[in-house]
Structure 1
Amino acid sequence: MKQDWLAGYIPDLPTPFDEDGEIDFDAFARLCERQIASGASAIVVGETTGEAPTLTTVEKAGLVRRAVELAHGRIRVIAGAGSNATDRAVELTRQAEAAGADAVLSVVPYYNKPMQAGIYPHFRAVAEATGLPVILHDVPSRSLRELADATLKRLAESEQFIGLRDSSGDVGRLVRIRTSLPPHFRLLSGDDLTALPFMTAGGHGCISAVTNLVPELCQAALASLSEGRPQSARYLFSRLVPIAGLLAAEHPAALKYALSLLGLMQPNTRLPIVQLNDAAKAEVKEAIAELGDEEWSSVEIDLSRTLSPSPGAFI
């Protein structure tokens, strides 16, 4: 199974909601088309940034179907299909396949703190329920239990498991495990703040929140790295760090507010996530203004287009 597409900056899309709390599919389409235009190889739908715990089964399927329709073969669609109950993870995986997803992203079971002896059969059950490739998601800050190296290696022996989204922020782990994994297996950061060192150390890319906001800048940083211009890559990455830190601190409310400043969606969230307070909004506005004032001509990025609010932006 060739997985060259699972690389670079891949956006974890937020789920836009209207004033009534329903999914805003028009805004969702804008977000998808923006990433297709930027050259992303894939999009992630209905996962962490998409406020997955607040989405119904019907809503999850609807998001995947709409993403597949919009993609029309131009970009891969990765469906968030994780749960801390194995039978529900299996159900969501089958549903994603029926909706046309190209792969599923399945998270380590959260809250109930399973042993590694339970994590392994959990993921095997997910894989056996579908013909789709499965990407594992290890996010210890949310799941409390990590995906141990030994468990990861056992799972990666099957070609159906095609990659790992590592949201631990531990670049040393990548260095430790990458040579012991099979050639088909892809390693992606799930942490924007450590994405550059992760990729420098041999990672294949980043499933990212910040690339929703500045996709061209992320692509330029990646291009500098792949073309052997580490100094340029470090500089571009350093420009991402302030806004990435703010997005990580109040995720995904900060991202939704930032995208609302660009006129791409409304900042509405679902409880228990709430919108940013005034102080946090001011910080996000300032960080975006600093990006917009930067001169990007040397990397051929039109940030005036990327960061100029559209008419009717929700400021």
Structure 2
Amino acid sequence: MQLDGVLFFPVTPFDTDGNIAFDVLAEHVKHGVSAGPGAVFVACGTGEFHALELGEFERAVAVAVEATGGRVPVFAGAGGSVASTKQFVRAAERAGADGILLLPPYLVTNPAAGLVRYVAEVAAATELPIIVYQRNNARFTPETAVEVASIPNVVGLKDGLGDLDQMQRIVLSVRAVLDKPFQFFNGLPTAEMTQLAYRAIGVELYSSAVFCFAPEISLGFYQALRSGDTALVNRFLFEFYKPLVELRDQVPGYAVALVKAAVRANGLEVGGVRPPLVDPSEEHVAALEKIIAAGKALLA
């Protein structure tokens, strides 16, 4: 399975009682898929995987699969301890997911060799394709990245560290020895800001949180990037993405909370975020709306 295009990471809507609003999730996914993403990644970082219990996770994945209707692949998040990760992977299988985004194990600081064991044990528990997410305490060396990439059902590596020197060595090492299709992804928050640099080291794919609330902006940037329209790319970066990142960085967790606020501002009641995240202040929401308006003005 080879992915292409902008990757859509929907939020997980909650109602006023704090429960998942599954009907709103279906509407959110259908609207996103109609805009033409390359894949849907449900209940991942933007979807607050960390705050979901197993039963609601499984139903959320099933709702996303049904709403997508087979038009693009659906990947589901999974991570944590080996035992709980296997439970979430099996739940994603039952729900009809096409693949797994394997998030880092929690809390522990682990050697790279232990991380290889973690991926191998999870991969052995499923036949689903797995994209491994490198970030936080999940850090690979070029050698261990080759080991992980060589696991039969591991099909990709998503980078959330931003160490381009290390990532270049990983890309070169994996491509030198692997004899199967394998893809690399830019998984930094607001990945558009760094995608020019990632493209230069051979990483073409990236996740777009902006696609959740303004797919037209996300796709406009993507098309400018693909066509080599450097002037327009730089305008998007300076007039929209840079202010968005500066606002995002004011409060930890805003990489999720601001996205959710922007979806609400578009009229879809997805609720707030679950603890330990916090919702944006009114002042920050107002600033966000101005930033989005500036981004949409560029589409003219």
Q: How many residues align?
A: 289
* Preserved CA contact (<8 Å) 1:45 1:64: yes
How far 1:110 moved relative to its partner?
2.5
Deviation per residue, 1:233-283 (Å, 9 max, x gap): 333343333224434651311111111111123341212222112332232
Q: State the secondary structure of the residue aligned to 1:117.
A: helix
1:206 partner amino acid: Y
1:234 partner amino acid: N
Q: State how 1:65-84 maps to structure 2 within 5 Å.
A: 65-83=62-80
Say if 1:196 and 1:244 are closer, same or farther in 2 by CA, change over 3 A: farther
* Preserved CA contact (<8 Å) 1:159 1:184: no
**Over aligned residues, Cα RMSD in angstroms?**
1.9
Q: State how 1:165-314 maps to structure 2 within 5 Å.
A: 165-181=158-174, 182=178, 184-191=181-188, 192=191, 193-238=193-238, 239-247=240-248, 249=251, 250-292=254-296, 294-297=297-300
Take 1:217 and 1:281, find their aligned partners in 2: how far apart are those partners? 18
* Preserved CA contact (<8 Å) 1:213 1:259: yes
1:157 partner amino acid: S
Q: State the secondary structure of the residue aligned to 1:113.
A: coil
Say if 1:226 and 1:289 are closer, same or farther in 2 by CA, change over 3 A: closer
How far 1:70 moved relative to its partner?
0.9
Take 2:245 and 2:23, find their aligned partners in 1: how far apart are those partners? 26
Take 2:269 and 2:199, find their aligned partners in 1: how far apart are those partners? 30
Take 2:10 and 2:227, find their aligned partners in 1: how far apart are those partners? 27
2:112 is equivalent to residue 116 of structure 1: yes
Equivalent position of 1:64 in the other structure: 61
Identity %: 29
Structure 1: state its 5+ residue gaps: 298-315
2:23 is equivalent to residue 26 of structure 1: yes
2:160 partner amino acid: S
Take 1:133 and 1:225, find their aligned partners in 2: how far apart are those partners? 28
Q: State the secondary structure of the residue aligned to 1:251.
A: helix
Take 1:92 and 1:121, find their aligned partners in 2: how far apart are those partners? 18
How far 1:152 moved relative to its partner?
1.2
* Preserved CA contact (<8 Å) 2:16 2:271: no
Take 2:264 and 2:280, find their aligned partners in 1: how far apart are those partners? 12
Normalising by structure 1, what TM-score? 0.85
Take 2:120 and 2:162, find their aligned partners in 1: how far apart are those partners? 25
2:2 partner amino acid: D
Say if 1:179 and 1:116 are closer, same or farther in 2 by CA, change over 3 A: closer
Equivalent position of 1:309 in the other structure: none
* Preserved CA contact (<8 Å) 1:16 1:265: yes
How far 1:106 moved relative to its partner?
0.6
Moved more, 110-119 or 123-132: 110-119
Structure 2: state its 5+ residue gaps: none
How far 1:16 moved relative to its partner?
0.6
Deviation per residue, 1:100-139 (Å, 9 max, x gap): 1000011221211122221111110111100100000111
